[in-house]
Amino acid sequence: METTEIMDGKNITLERAGEEDRTLIFKNDMCAVCGLCETICPVSAIEANPTGAMIRTEQDMSKIDIDVNKCVLCGMCSSICPFQALDLQINGDSIRELQYPQLIKSAEIDNEECIHCKACETACPQDAIIITRELPSRAELITGEIDIDKETCIYCGMCEEMCPVDAIDIEHQTPTSDNPVVATDINVSEDICVHCGICKRICPVDAIKQVCRICPYGEYEISEPEINGNSYIDPELCINCTWCQEICPVDAAKVTKPFEGELTIEQDTCQGCETCVMVCPCNVLSFPKSTKSGLNAEKLHKDERFCIYCGACQKSCPVDAINVKRTQINYTPTKSKAWKKAFESLKQ
Amino acid sequence: MPKHIVSGLKYIAAVNLRKQGQTQREIAEALDMDRSTVSHYLNGRNLSWNSIEVAEMVTNFCPKDFLILTHALLKDTERTRTIIQTCSNLKFEGIIRNSCIGCGICVDTCLMKAIVLNDLKAHINDEWCCGCLICMEMCQTNSIEIKEVVD
């Protein structure tokens, strides 16, 4: 019946064996110190450590502390954590797979719509997106002819050195008395050549004949380039911030946020310490670049499109300049009045 | 000596189970005894009257002491459950408040296995509740109330 605590670096595991074997796992790396677990815990077993210190300096401690003597392993913290940093497992199964209230959140990229531009991959604050793509070879997008007159060629190697796609290959050799030549052969690979004409222009003896057919004949000979690719969002890392959805040029990404609300910043109170900017897991906050020396339109810039209203910034602000108001919590229905009350209590 | 109290408790349980209409075979199985011993017990043989008196005293302890002592003597949850249920004359009603979060601490502590979780809430089977109040004491959200039912 005793609950035991195991520390693995900064990760915490709490275990209780009984009718059901319950295990609560805390992954320090995934925690944004938003404090939702601390707020929802019905037995006040969780304490989030001071955010500024946790984020700005190297700390040997975990971002949260769980009191092993108080924790009853009910799983509320695990259900509310928007970052999947906490996970309660019952008999080895995560309560995310069981009949427990869950935050309703999702993120997907429609691979049919996706043009594999990688904008989302670049923008994702959690590096949760991987876009793989296979581009056609350059030669497939061009058409032309090239021929090197080996009789005229003096094998000077200039064309080989200048070719931007390494399509020319010369078999160099040191001349010997029985074969007094500097090279034995020269070849151009038509699969690689992009018919840029540089070799023709550099050749000192006009040994190269090259023509690009696109100008005289148009592009009809070239088939549409085929770009194959795949998009993947790591569900463990994704925090549903909607950066991918907002930055996608073809509306291929769809994201549902777990919370709705309002984020307000008191520009006059803000001291510009940057803690919130470092804390925010969704890259909602930034310092705007100065337009004129000594002038800033605003101290701290926000773009609420990306905000999931976790409250980490508010918790971290040393001067209370930020207010996060949650107006809606999207979670799956539950018959438990205590759980319902706990989820609803996070609204303001 | 502990063995004698166990015998006394089993005697009382056997007599009560017989009154409930159970056969000697069923009684033997429920109390983990052989049939001949059950037969002897029901006929008042092979048992000192003093053991029965002590056992009767134990059954009249407060429910928590009765339960913990019996469990300590038998070292077996199943037999303990049977003896407590058959030898106790008290009836209880468990009420779970809506503040229950379904943490399962009560399920794990209940020696009578009278509590189950359903839809993130504990449910007490009054048939099996012996009124020990251990669950109530352990509950971190004060969600359990146990009431004695007086006929």
Enumerate domains of chain B plus CATH numbers: 2-87 (no CATH), 91-149 (3.30.70.20)
Q: B109 in contact with A at a CB cutoff of 8 Å? A: yes
When scoring A72, A334, A339 by the number of chain B Cβ atoms within 10 A, the one with the most, hence best to mutate, is A72
Contacts with B105 from chain A: Cβ below 8 Å = 1, 72
The predicted structure's pLDDT at residue A51: 84
Q: B119 in contact with A at a CB cutoff of 8 Å? A: yes
Instruction: List C-alpha distances in Å: A104 to A50, A239, A328, B118.
Output: 29, 12, 11, 22
Contacts with A20 from chain B: Cβ below 8 Å = 104, 107, 117
User: What is the full DSSP assignment across A59-92?
Assistant: -SS-SEEE-TTT-----HHHHH-TT--EEEEETT
N-to-C CA span, chain B: 36
DSSP state, residue B108: H
pLDDT tens figures, A86-142: 999 999 999 999 999 999 999 999 999 999 999 999 999 999 999 999 999 888 888
Of A42, A31, A35, the residue nearest A73 (C-alpha)? A42
Instruction: List C-alpha distances in Å: B66 to A285, B23, B83.
Output: 63, 26, 10
Min Cα distance A1 → chain B (Å) is 7
Min Cα distance B36 → chain A (Å) is 35
pLDDT tens figures, B81-105: 999 999 988 999 999 999 999 999 9
Cβ–Cβ under 8 Å, residues A125 and A193:
no
ipTM greater than 0.95: no
The predicted structure's pLDDT at residue A291: 76
DSSP state, residue A138: G
**How much is the pTM?**
0.84
In Å, the largest CA–CA distance within chain A is 98
Q: B108 in contact with A at a CB cutoff of 8 Å? A: yes
What proportion of chain A, given as a percentage, has pLDDT over 90? Answer: 82
User: What dihedral do alpha carbons A188, A191, A197, A198 form, nearest 10°?
Assistant: -60
Domains of chain A listed by start with CATH number: 3-94 (3.30.70.20), 106-129+235-344 (3.30.70.20), 138-217 (3.30.70.20)
